[in-house]
Amino acid sequence: LSQNFEEATVDKKDQEEKVSIKENQLKTASQLNEILSRELERTSKIFQSTSERQSTLTGTCSISAAFLIYLGPYTHGFRRLMLTVHWIKSIRDRGMTIVFDQISPVKGRIINWQLDSIQDNQIEINDEQKLLSGSEYRQMLFSLIEFILGDQMYLEWLSKGVLSSDMENHTIIVKSIEYPPLIIDPFGQIDQWIKDYYNVQTIYFDDESNHEIVMLIEQSFLSGSKIYIKNCNSLDSLVYPLAQWKSTSEKFQNTNLIIYCGRRLFCNPSFRFFIQTDFDSLDKVPPSLSLMTTSINCQYSVETLLDDLRQQVFQRVQPNYYQRKLSILHLILICQQRIQSIDSFLKLNSIRFDFTKKLFLFYHLTNFI
């Protein structure tokens, strides 16, 4: 009887262990089924929205391209007038719509801002009227900038407290690829951002006969560094070869060669330059200079001063809340970066590694934290 009791006890423990293993397997399978169901729903919604997203790309890309190409030289008020009145009306008249959306690895498709496609040809809009209020325009502007730059750079700028008016100018500068940026900034308001973001070497054009300028520019060609040309008010013999090379580099294959001051030099692909002028409007800029560059007006206006004042007041009256806001935005940026890294890692290595073992999976995921 004692031997039979021991055997039954051992058999009971074995059965309990098997039951526990099966319960864990069923629990894991249930969790996996729930995760796959959510993923199926997310991907299905993304797939179903593909045709709708394609139909809205025309209007969305049109207003984005127009923003980058045409609105740089003008003030904040004129930019808002074009974005909220004239261009929206033109897009509606042509039966198009605008949708700024993105694909999130967690939530799927997210619509940040959209314009309804309802046309009303009976309504006449004056220049002083606005289709969007201040908060609606700010939401549209942020969605437009996020659509152009991507959510990573957009959140990075938000976490550093960049103003919406500065974001407009920064976006045009960053996306000015075919032509060099011509920064209309007589008071040097954007100098610090250019130096911090691009780590540029500043060159002053006060003395055009200074041969050190030529040496510095040639060294930048070879090293691939970025230069910031200050006080450039004309397209002289020192600037014209740079602008000519930049405007034609996308059309020819020998983009690594540049003829500068009678010498054929190798140009590092990472070389980039920015031009700043002391003129306070595009009308005063020589046509030869404006035609070879992308003009960006970085001067203060009434709207930008109010925007800056609101942030300065908030920062001084509630410094703790202001810092907490920036910290939250920075945490959101870090979480999004880690989620994307983990998602990419799992997609690339799901077959290569055995992720059925929790410890093994946990070991690899901790590398992203």
- Put simply, whether the predicted model's pTM sits higher than 0.85 gets the answer no
3-state helix, strand, coil in the chain (%, to 5): 60, 10, 30
Q: Is the pLDDT of residue 9 over 50?
A: yes
pLDDT band at 108 (very low <50, low <70, confident <90, very high): confident
Q: Is the pLDDT of residue 102 over 80?
A: yes
The first and second tokens of residue 101, run together, are 């959306």
Which string of DSSP letters, residue by residue, matches 173-220? Answer: HHT--SS-EEEE-TT-TTHHHHHHHH--EEEE-S-TT-HHHHHHHHHH
For residue 168, the surrounding DSSP H or E stretch is: helix 164-174
Check if the beta carbon of residue 269 is closer than 8 Å to that of residue 255. Answer: yes
Dihedral sign for Cα 77, 80, 85, 87, please. positive
Q: Average per-residue pLDDT in the chain?
A: 83
Predicted confidence at residue 122, as pLDDT, reads 39
- The CATH superfamily label for domain 180-296 reads P-loop containing nucleotide triphosphate hydrolases (3.40.50.300)
Q: pLDDT tens-digit profile of 310-332?
A: 888 999 999 999 999 999 999 99
Q: Is the pLDDT of residue 12 over 50?
A: yes
Partners of 263 in the β-ladder: 260
Predicted confidence at residue 360, as pLDDT, reads 53
Predicted confidence at residue 348, as pLDDT, reads 73
Region 354-359: mean pLDDT is: 53
Q: pLDDT tens-digit profile of 17-31?
A: 888 888 988 988 888
Q: Is the pLDDT of residue 106 over 80?
A: no
Region 238-262: mean pLDDT is: 76
The first and second tokens of residue 114, run together, are 């959209």
pLDDT band at 100 (very low <50, low <70, confident <90, very high): very high
Name the E strands within the chain: 98-104, 108-115, 181-184, 201-204, 226-230, 257-260, 263-266, 272-277, 294-297
Predicted confidence at residue 330, as pLDDT, reads 92
Predicted confidence at residue 42, as pLDDT, reads 84
Predicted confidence at residue 182, as pLDDT, reads 93
Percent of the chain with pLDDT over 90: 27
